[in-house]
Structure 1
Amino acid sequence: MEFIQPLFLWGIGAVVIPVVIHFWHQKRGKTLAWAATRWLQEKNQQQQRGIKLDNLLLLLLRCLVVMLLALILSQPILTGLTKPVAVAKIHLVQPEKVVVDNYRFELEEAIRKGEAVYWINAATEATGHPAQLPDQRTFNLDVLQSSINTVSEKPSEIHLYVLNNQQLANVPFIRVPAQFTLHTMVDSASRPLRPYLKLPGSGNVFVNVSNQLVSSSALSKGVRFQDFPAHSGRLKALVDFHDKTEQQTVLAALKALSDVYALGIQIDVKKEQKTGYDWVLTDQDVVAPTSKTLYVVSGKLSLPRVPNVVYWEEKLTPQTAERVRTGQLPEQLGELLIRHFNLKPNPFPLSQAQLNTLFVPTGERRENQPENLRNGLLLVFVGLIGLERWMALRQNA
């Protein structure tokens, strides 16, 4: 037997209360004068000393009520009455050749044992041949969380195989099942050159050695950059919301971001047909997204089919979004911009402490334990209370 709230078992110690009250009640007896006592002979009078256990059954009944109450509050669970839940072992793999090559033995062994292996992509495809990478290899943290949620619909033990880099730190946390094992690796062989933006007025916008977004007329000497910028010319953004409060909030955040980093973003609140936008922030569905445009859609929960469409479930107002209330919206928009242009392609790996903080296990719900047990104990408790009251009134105790 297990207890959900075992601390309440200390309440059993309260059984001393009815015992003390019982003996105290007996000790408070009063001597009543009765005329016939003068006819009794003194030799027949007996002096009683010590403790006399009157109404013993009633005392035991009251003690049992206290003990049963403590037992009910501790929420007992009879583990022997429930069947163990079958837990499937599932392997989630980032669709990268370096990851598959590094964990080839583990994945082939899992397939040999009949365990499920899935790619981490929008479709969460199952595979029996890890060496054959899928056509859809888009990987971001939204896709990662979606794949974990998909395979976690049933009780499962998940093994996750991903590259360890700062891309994982773009979200505050990732929810995983309680039975979870993380396998990470650092791709030390790949050292791509960093992209940068060439914007009029602000010069070059890039991520420096300290992994900070900066704008400068000259590129940092401590970082190797690509020969040509990832984007040249002015950044153009469209802010189109039905909710005017939300639109004003996003406009203020976007202007703050543009001012801090001297981005000089051109912001439109009404779509111009001949203008190609680099950034679209809206609360409307994206019908035909273009690959070079970053879309941020608020107030909708949907699975991203392409990496440049980001969905935020909450509406971006101070009343509905924590990121707005805490003033983090400009910073998070900046992170999306960095990710969209891949300004940090090869960041440093996360430490073990950072990984432990990032992946948050969610407590699995217990199987519904015999509610009949708790209901039965409650019925017995009510019955004992009724019996105790009946006996107490009958014996005037």
Structure 2
Amino acid sequence: MQFLQPILLWGLLGISIPFLIHLWRGKKGTLLSWAAMHWLPTQESSVANGIRLENILVLILRILMLVLLVFLLSQLFLPKLNEAAEARIIHLVQPSNQVTEEYRFEIQQALEKGEEVFWADDVLSPIESMEELNSTQKKLSLQGSLDQVPSEATELNLYLSNSKNAFGAAFFLSKIKPKLHLGSSELGKSQPQSLALDGGKVLQANKQGLLDSLPKGQDMTSSMSLGKEQFGYFLAEGNSSERVVIQAAFEAINEVYGFEFVEKEQVEKAKLVFDSELPAESRGDKLYFISGNHSFSEQANLLTYSDRLDFEASEQVQTGRLPELILEEFLAFSGIEQQDVKLSYAQVERRFLVQSDKSQSKKANLNLLLLGLFLGCFAAERYFANQQGI
């Protein structure tokens, strides 16, 4: 048994009020006059006082009414009643033979229990038998499948690979906090990609996934060029401390990698846009960094951060990771394929933003019962009180 508003239980102290009233009335007594009273001797005339048995019944009813009213306002909740009525477990499976093979037993158990199992695709395709796990025609659409999860779901299980390239740089919005089941399969190996800059400089990702100068004479297996127009950025008017930090981050990137980012006075000429407000109309050819904003966007080129990008508020700035963050998002937006690495459970978990916590959205499930008892006690109390004239 739980109370969703336990602070209102202090109202139970009011039980003493009807009890004290009954004691006071019993102590005071009541003068009853009748026609032949003056014929009685004075010594036989007395005041009847004390609490009669009938009064005790009214007292109990009034105390019970007050207890029921406090319980009703405190929102009495029984978890077992909700579990029996609302339990709905959803399983979303990434369309991958490696993931399905690794979690075949868990998926089979879910199907045998009658729980709902779906592919994590854009149409939330159901999986009704183990034979359907061999299908490779589905395409992963994690946010699309999360959007279609029923709001009545009480538990959400996700079966995913822990590949950084599979997740990309996106964050995902979920109705409830998911339970993650991450695969441990080998990551795919891709050909190293080279990045050619104006001036003849060529960079390539090394074994650690960091950009490094390509040795002279080495062949470029896969090359991509970035012109000067790709390195323009725009800083909206606002917090001056953010401006200093962001400019320092670009200077650090230039010092290490030689990327010469240039500030633009007009947002139309910039490739990277830093602002604290969501754009009225976002353009697909720009990468937006929105700071100090609690909104969530599903657009891959619109990144939102709840904290301002300054030293006082941002952990990224305090730890010196802001240049790395900007460069990583810029390269991913520009189409530079990064070396695939495994993500930890904590890293993947941070990618999911929860719309609402089911534990905080409980509704009292005994309100009707308590209200019925309260009305019954009230009717009985009025009946006996009128009978006794109190």
**Distance in 1 separating the partners of 2:18 and 2:66:** 9
Deviations 1:108-155 (A, max 9, x none): 7877979542234xx345276444434755xxxxx5344212223453
Assess, with a 3 A threshold, how the Cα gap between structure 1 residues 149 and 348 changes in structure 2: closer, same or farther.
same
SS of 2:249's equivalent in the other structure is helix
Residue 329 of structure 2 corresponds to: 336
What aligned pairs does 1:86-165 form with structure 2 within 5 A after superposition?
A: 87=88, 89-93=90-94, 95-103=95-103, 115-120=116-121, 123-124=122-123, 126=125, 129-134=132-137, 136=139, 144-155=142-153, 157-165=155-163
Assess, with a 3 A threshold, how the Cα gap between structure 1 residues 135 and 145 changes in structure 2: closer, same or farther.
closer
**Distance in 2 separating the partners of 1:372 and 1:9:** 19
Residue 310 of structure 1 corresponds to: 301
Assess, with a 3 A threshold, how the Cα gap between structure 1 residues 68 and 347 changes in structure 2: closer, same or farther.
same
1:69 positional shift: 2.1
1:236 positional shift: 1.7
**Distance in 2 separating the partners of 1:84 and 1:198:** 61
What aligned pairs does 1:1-397 form with structure 2 within 5 A after superposition?
A: 4-5=4-5, 12=12, 14-24=14-24, 26-27=26-27, 40-41=42-43, 52-54=50-52, 55-76=55-76, 84-85=85-86, 87=88, 89-93=90-94, 95-103=95-103, 115-120=116-121, 123-124=122-123, 126=125, 129-134=132-137, 136=139, 144-155=142-153, 157-165=155-163, 175=174, 177=176, 180-188=178-186, 190=188, 192=190, 231=225, 234=228, 236-237=230-231, 245=237, 255-262=247-254, 263-268=259-264, 269=266, 271=268, 283-286=280-283, 295-296=287-288, 303-304=298-299, 309-311=300-302, 322-323=307-308, 326=313, 333-340=326-333, 344-351=338-345, 362-363=357-358, 365=361, 369=365, 372-373=368-369, 376=372, 395=390
Deviations 1:53-93 (A, max 9, x none): 24435433432332222222232468879982473643331
Query: What amino acid maps onto 1:284 in structure 2?
Result: E
SS of 1:261's equivalent in the other structure is helix
TM-score using structure 2 length: 0.59
**Distance in 2 separating the partners of 1:162 and 1:21:** 66
Point out the structure with the larger helix share: 2
Query: Larger deviation: 254-263 or 232-241?
Result: 232-241
TM-score using structure 1 length: 0.58
Assess, with a 3 A threshold, how the Cα gap between structure 1 residues 239 and 37 changes in structure 2: closer, same or farther.
farther
Deviations 1:340-384 (A, max 9, x none): 355753334314x55666655831755785765465466568768
**Distance in 2 separating the partners of 1:28 and 1:169:** 81
**Distance in 1 separating the partners of 2:2 and 2:362:** 12
Assess, with a 3 A threshold, how the Cα gap between structure 1 residues 256 and 366 changes in structure 2: closer, same or farther.
same
Assess, with a 3 A threshold, how the Cα gap between structure 1 residues 72 and 381 changes in structure 2: closer, same or farther.
farther
Residue 222 of structure 1 corresponds to: none
1:162 positional shift: 1.1
**Matched length:** 346
1:251 positional shift: 7.8
User: 5+ unaligned residues in a row in structure 2: which ranges?
Assistant: 32-37
SS of 1:23's equivalent in the other structure is helix
Deviations 1:220-278 (A, max 9, x none): xxxxxx8666555546246689xx65899998776443223223114442657xxxx86
**Distance in 2 separating the partners of 1:280 and 1:81:** 47
Q: Is the 8 A contact 1:88 1:155 kept in 2?
A: yes
Q: Larger relative contact order (C-alpha < 8 A, sep ≥ 6)?
A: 2
1:184 positional shift: 0.5
Q: Is the 8 A contact 1:75 1:374 kept in 2?
A: no
**Distance in 2 separating the partners of 1:388 and 1:134:** 75
Query: Larger deviation: 363-372 or 146-155?
Result: 363-372
SS of 1:177's equivalent in the other structure is coil
RMSD: 5.7
Query: What amino acid maps onto 1:74 in structure 2?
Result: S
Give 4+ residue runs of structure 1 displaced > 6 Å after superposition: 28-31, 45-48, 78-83, 108-114, 203-211, 215-219, 226-229, 246-253, 297-302, 381-392
Q: Is the 8 A contact 1:285 1:297 kept in 2?
A: no
**Distance in 2 separating the partners of 1:148 and 1:196:** 35
Query: What amino acid maps onto 1:337 in structure 2?
Result: F
Query: What amino acid maps onto 1:71 in structure 2?
Result: F
**Distance in 2 separating the partners of 1:11 and 1:271:** 62
SS of 1:84's equivalent in the other structure is helix
SS of 2:125's equivalent in the other structure is coil
SS of 1:257's equivalent in the other structure is helix
1:182 positional shift: 2.2
**Distance in 2 separating the partners of 1:233 and 1:322:** 32
Query: What amino acid maps onto 2:161 in structure 1?
Result: L
